[in-house]
Amino acid sequence: MIVTGGTKGLGKAIALSFALEGAWVGVNYSSDDESGSRTEAELKGLATKSLLLKADVSIGSDVEMMIGRVLDEWEYVDILVNNAGIIRDKLLMFLDEKDWDRVVEVNLKGTYLCSRAIIKTMIARRFGRIINITSPSALTGRAGQTNYSASKGGIISFTKSLSKEMARLGITVNAVCPGIVSTPMIEDLDQETKSNLLNMIPMGRFGEPEDIAWAVLFLASEKAGYITGQVLAADGGLT
């Protein structure tokens, strides 16, 4: 399996969860070599086989090289998790073209490029799981995130359309929508902001990265073979 943006945060939790289940895990990252090496070391202790894959998912040639390398080493890939994502939050009035483009390029175009590069090997084996990470921002909107929510909303529409193309070929395409996940960024917020956020979550707690990873694992499993084109929200009831 390959998880993009897999050396930090949610992507890393997903990668480690798959490693624990016995999967061969390829983790992609774009620039932070230090977190790349750390995750690589952790994976070596857990996964039967692992690969650290440096590539910018918004660049077609980078993606083709990355997928090519994995196929050279492992022959095929059954599971792709399109997790790589960035934010450049600004109110629309102040949102310049550069920040719009970069967010859409990494989040949405990256999902398209990685999916396109992987489907041939999945079609050849008549089996595949593509799981795209979206956001509550795509479902409910959020001030300051027009670029991010548009990219994540695009991912949902992309998921639904690609699922129709792939359904007959044994490949499922779904999305997972994480809620507000406990990350250092959330932990650093002041108490008032944190309790405001917590009040929005019916379950009264932030999600743990593992909560989301379990949803991804389920959609990747054989048991989820009849589920495609869906958005599974693992968000404590937030949406």
Partner 1 sequence: MKEIVNNSEALCEFLKKMIIETLKLEGVTIEGIDSNVPLFRKGLGLDSIDALELVVAIEKIFNVIIEDEEVGKKAFASINALAKFIQKKYKQGK
Q: How far is the CB of 166 from partner 1 (least distance, A)?
A: 8
Quote the crossing angle between the two packed helices 9-20 and 33-46, to the nearest 10°. Answer: 20
**Residue tagged 């980078």 (tokens):** 62
Token couple for 9:
């945060």
Burial annotation 134-143 (CB, 10 A radius, 16+ → b, else e): bbbbbbeeee
Q: How far is the CB of 187 from partner 1 (least distance, A)?
A: 45
Token couple for 28:
């992609």
Distance CA 150, CA 138 (A): 7
Residues recognised as catalytic: 148
Distance CA 175, CA 166 (A): 14
Q: What are the DSSP E strand ranges found in 33-181?
A: 50-54, 79-82, 128-133, 171-178
Cβ distance to partner 1 smaller for residue 86 or 169:
169
Q: With contact defined as beta carbons under 8 Å apart, do 231 and 174 qualify?
A: yes
Residues 6 or more apart in contact with residue 227 via CB below 8 angstroms: 172, 174, 219
Q: How far is the CB of 118 from partner 1 (least distance, A)?
A: 12
Cβ distance to partner 1 smaller for residue 171 or 181:
171
Q: How far is the CB of 120 from partner 1 (least distance, A)?
A: 5
Residues that bind partner 1 (CB under 8 A): 119-120, 123-124, 165, 168-169
Q: With contact defined as beta carbons under 8 Å apart, do 64 and 40 qualify?
A: no
Distance CA 204, CA 213 (A): 20
DSSP state of 87: -
Token couple for 48:
């039967």
